[in-house]
Amino acid sequence: MTVDWTQRKSTEQLAQMAAGETVLIAGWVHRHRHHGGLVFFDVRDRSGVVQVVVRPDNRAFALAASLHPEWVVQVRAVVQHREKAAVNPKIATGHIELIPTELTVLAEALPPPVSPADEGEVDESLRLRHRYLDLRRPVMQRNLEIRHQALQTARRVLSEQGFWEVETPNLTRSTPEGARDFLVPSRLAKGRFYALPQSPQLFKQLLMVAGIERYFQVVHCFRDEDLRADRQLEFVQIDIEQSFVDRQDIMRLGEGLAVALAREVAGWAVPESFPRITYREAMDRYGSDHPDVRFGMPIVDLSERAADGCVPFLDQAVKAGERVVALHFPGSLSRKQVEELSQASAVDLAWLTVEEGQAKGSLGRFFDAESAQLWGAASGTLLIGHGVGDAFLQKVGALRLRLGREGDLIPSRRHEFVWVTDFPLLDWNAEDARWQAVHHPFTAPLDEDAPNIERHPAEVRSKQYDLVLDGHEVAGGSIRIHQREMQERIFAQIGLSAEEAAEKFQFLLEAFRYGAPPHGGIAFGFDRLVMLMAGMTTIREVIAFPLLSSGVDPLTGAPTAVAESQLRELGIAVRPPTAPGRGDLA
Ligand code: ASP
C-alpha cells in the first residue's frame, strides 16, 4: 500500500494535537527500552523526538520489541496525553505519547559507531568518518539550521539593499591574499596551473569596473595554511563590494548585516551600531588587533610612573626605550601562579599587591601601601612587565585573555562587536627583507598619510576595517585604490616590479585604465560567525563535511593518491616524498 507522506506529522504538529487523534510519523529509532513489561521507543526526525509506547496486547508488540537504535520506522498511532508524573518538559512533545496501530520497519541499521542519541564526547575522526551519523545528532542539526538561517538572512538583507549575487570562477589564477595557493594542473595546457581563489578579490573589483555597483557572493575560498579551530583549507565568505562609497558606508552596511544576523539568527540583543577603535588603541589597550572587549582589565601604561626611579630595573627599562605596562587582575595570585604566568606568556612579570596595609609581591619592598596604590595596586594584583613593540604587547594581550578566562572575567552570555580601523598599510617582512601589505595590495592608504608611503612606510595608515566579535575577527575589508598611479606606488613599495605586477595583476591594472569607480568592500568569515552564533568552539561543528586539522577527510579518504595514467595525462610526475606523507609535485 502506498503511503501518503504528506500526512506525516512533525513534532511541532504533534505537540498541538488532541488526545485520540490518529497520526502518521516516520524517522529513526532514537532510544529503545523495555520497562515494566512495556516497550518504549523514541522516534526522531529533523523536527525532534516523540515517544511511542507499546503494551503487550498491542499487535505491534513483538516487532516493537525487536527494534534497534537507528532503524528507520513508520508508525501510525493514536495520540495520548501522558500522566502528570510522566511529562517531560524538556521536549516539545513531552506531554504526549503515541500508541501505535501499525508499525513498519522501513530500513534496518547496523549498530551505529557514532550514536546520534549519545551526547558524550566522541573521537572527532570517528565522528567525521561517519559524518552522516554524527549529523543526525540534534545539536548538529541545530548547527546546520542556524547556518541555513544565517545564509538566508544575509542573502535577504543584501538583496533588499540592491546587491546582486554574482558568481566568480574557482579555476583562476593566484589572488592577492598572501597565503599559499592551491594549484590545479591543467590537462589542456600541460605544465600550467590554475590557482583556486583565496578570495574573489580581483573579480569583485572587476565587477565594480563593470558597473555592477553592488555585488555580493556566498563563496568558497581556498588557502593552503595550517588548520586551526577556526580555520579550514576551504572556507566560506560572504563577500561584498560596492562602488561610490567611503569607509563609513561599508562599515554601516557591515553593521546592518551583523545586527540582522545577531538579532534574527542568534537572538542576541546587540546595539544598532558598534564602537570603533583604532588599531593603535587596540594594540595599546588590549594587545590584539581583534580584542575581546567583553571584559575590561586593559593594559595600563606605567612608563611615566616607572621613570620616577622608585623601582630601579623598571626605570632602566624605560631609559632603554622600553614600555612598562601592567594588568590589574581583580583577584589575588600566589607567587607560584605569577611565575607560571610569566613563563607561559614569555613576559618577565613583576607583581605588586596591598595586603593588610602593606605593599607585597615581588615589588613589595620598593613601595609603601600609599605609593603602591598610586601605581594602581589598591585591590587585586598588579602584574607588571616591560618590553618594546607590538610583539611585546601581543604577549601581554594573550596574558590578559588567559587571566580573563581563568579568572572568570568574561561574561560568556554577552556578545560584543567592535570595529578596528586605521591599520598600518604595510609591515616589514624580516624574512624576505621587504615591506608587505597588511591587508592586500589593493587597500588604499588614508589620504593624509599617502605622502609618506615612500619616506615613512611604517607610519602610513590604511582604509582597512575589521569587524571583531567576542575577540574573533569576523569580517575584514577596505576601500580600494582605484587610481593607477597610487597602485603603482604601492607595488613599488612592496618590491613588486612593474613587470611582476603586470605579470600577476595585468588584467586588473588594465581594467583600471578604462574608468574605475571609487569602491570598497568587506568579507565576512561565514563559518567563524556561525560558529560563534551557535556557541561552538570550532568551525568544524558548523560545516557539514569539514576536514580534520591534519587536512584529511576521514569520510572520503581525501587527499588520495591518483592513478599513474591521470598524472601522465597532466604531464606530472610525483617526486618521492621528502618527509613522511608529503609528496612534492614536480
Ligand atoms: N578579500 C579580502 C579577504 O578575503 C576581504 C576584502 O578586502 O574584501 O580578506
Quickly list H helices, 523-563. 526-533
Per the prediction, the chain carries an average pLDDT of 94
In short, whether 478's Cβ falls inside 6 Å of ligand 1 is yes
Task: Give the pLDDT score at 7.
Answer: 96
Closest protein CA for atom 1 of ligand 1: 201
- CA dihedral defined by 430, 436, 438, 441, rounded to 10 degrees? -170
- Interacting residues of 198 by C-beta distance below 8 A, sequence separation 6+: 174, 175, 176, 177, 178, 179, 181, 221, 222, 223
Q: Which atom of ligand 1 is nearest to the CA of 522?
A: 8
Judge whether 240 and 163 are in contact, CB under 8 Å.
yes
224 C-alpha to center of ligand 1: Å?
16
Helix H or strand E segment including 473: strand 472-479
522 C-alpha to center of ligand 1: Å?
6
Distance CA 154, CA 256 (A): 10
**In the block, which residue shows the cell 537504535?**
69
184 C-alpha to center of ligand 1: Å?
22
Look up the CATH superfamily of 295-406. GAD-like domain (3.30.1360.30)
524 C-alpha to center of ligand 1: Å?
8
Grouping H, G, I as helix, E, B as strand and the rest as coil, residue 565 is helix
Ranges in the chain annotated CATH 3.30.1360.30: 295-406
Grouping H, G, I as helix, E, B as strand and the rest as coil, residue 155 is helix
Distance CA 194, CA 443 (A): 25
250 C-alpha to center of ligand 1: Å?
13
DSSP-derived secondary structure letter, 232? -
CA proximity to 469, closest of 543, 394, 525 = 525
In short, whether 168's Cβ falls inside 6 Å of ligand 1 is no
Judge whether 444 and 462 are in contact, CB under 8 Å.
yes
Ranges in the chain annotated CATH 3.30.930.10: 140-278+417-422+464-542
DSSP-derived secondary structure letter, 228? B
Q: Which atom of ligand 1 is nearest to the CA of 443?
A: 7
261 C-alpha to center of ligand 1: Å?
20
494 C-alpha to center of ligand 1: Å?
18
Q: Which atom of ligand 1 is nearest to the CA of 237?
A: 4
In short, whether 521's Cβ falls inside 6 Å of ligand 1 is yes
201 C-alpha to center of ligand 1: Å?
6
Q: Which atom of ligand 1 is nearest to the CA of 464?
A: 7
Q: Which atom of ligand 1 is nearest to the CA of 240?
A: 8
Closest protein CA for atom 4 of ligand 1: 199
User: Ligand 1 pocket test: which of 177, 215, 250 has the largest number of ligand atoms within 8 Å of its C-beta?
Assistant: 177
pTM: 0.93
478 C-alpha to center of ligand 1: Å?
8
CA proximity to 327, closest of 381, 370, 408, 373 = 381
DSSP-derived secondary structure letter, 25? E
In short, whether 523's Cβ falls inside 6 Å of ligand 1 is yes
**What is the full DSSP assignment across 245-275?**
--HHHHHHHHHHHHHHIIIIII-----SS--
User: Ligand 1 pocket test: which of 199, 217, 238, 249 has the largest number of ligand atoms within 8 Å of its C-beta?
Assistant: 199
130 C-alpha to center of ligand 1: Å?
34
Closest protein CA for atom 8 of ligand 1: 522
DSSP-derived secondary structure letter, 448? G
In short, whether 197's Cβ falls inside 6 Å of ligand 1 is no
Distance CA 428, CA 129 (A): 43
In short, whether 476's Cβ falls inside 6 Å of ligand 1 is yes
Helix H or strand E segment including 388: none
Grouping H, G, I as helix, E, B as strand and the rest as coil, residue 56 is coil
Grouping H, G, I as helix, E, B as strand and the rest as coil, residue 88 is coil
In short, whether 175's Cβ falls inside 6 Å of ligand 1 is no
177 C-alpha to center of ligand 1: Å?
7
**In the block, which residue shows the cell 516539545?**
92
Judge whether 60 and 102 are in contact, CB under 8 Å.
yes
549 C-alpha to center of ligand 1: Å?
23
156 C-alpha to center of ligand 1: Å?
21
Distance CA 337, CA 511 (A): 59
Distance CA 222, CA 231 (A): 11
CA proximity to 47, closest of 153, 132, 136 = 136
In short, whether 177's Cβ falls inside 6 Å of ligand 1 is yes
200 C-alpha to center of ligand 1: Å?
8
Closest protein CA for atom 7 of ligand 1: 477
Distance CA 542, CA 400 (A): 28
Structural domain 2-107, CATH architecture: Beta Barrel (2.40)
In DSSP terms, 428 is beta-bridged to: 435
Q: Which atom of ligand 1 is nearest to the CA of 221?
A: 4
User: Ligand 1 pocket test: which of 163, 237, 468, 508 has the largest number of ligand atoms within 8 Å of its C-beta?
Assistant: 237
Judge whether 393 and 299 are in contact, CB under 8 Å.
yes
From residue 310, give the alpha-carbon distance in Å to each of 352, 366, 385, 387, 565.
13, 7, 15, 18, 76
- Interacting residues of 226 by C-beta distance below 8 A, sequence separation 6+: none
Task: Give the pLDDT score at 133.
Answer: 97
CA proximity to 133, closest of 150, 111, 154 = 111
User: Ligand 1 pocket test: which of 215, 239, 290, 464 has the largest number of ligand atoms within 8 Å of its C-beta?
Assistant: 239
Q: For domain 140-278+417-422+464-542, give the CATH number.
A: 3.30.930.10
- Computed on alpha carbons and rounded to an integer, the radius of gyration of the chain in Å comes to 30
In short, whether 199's Cβ falls inside 6 Å of ligand 1 is yes
Q: Which atom of ligand 1 is nearest to the CA of 241?
A: 8
Rounded (5°) CA angle 363-364-370: 115
Judge whether 377 and 305 are in contact, CB under 8 Å.
no
Distance CA 506, CA 49 (A): 58
Longest CA span, the chain: 93
553: left (phi over 0), alpha (psi -120 to 50) or beta: beta
AA letter at 571: G
Question: Residues of the chain whose pLDDT is less than 70?
Answer: 1, 578-586
Quickly list H helices, 7-137. 11-15, 61-65, 124-129, 131-134
Ranges in the chain annotated CATH 2.40.50.140: 2-107
Strands (E), 46-190: 48-54, 72-81, 96-107, 164-165, 183-185
From residue 40, give the alpha-carbon distance in Å to each of 35, 52, 116.
7, 6, 18
190 C-alpha to center of ligand 1: Å?
31
Task: Give the pLDDT score at 581.
Answer: 52
Task: Give the pLDDT score at 586.
Answer: 38
| Helix, strand, coil abundance in the chain, percent, nearest 5 | 30, 25, 40
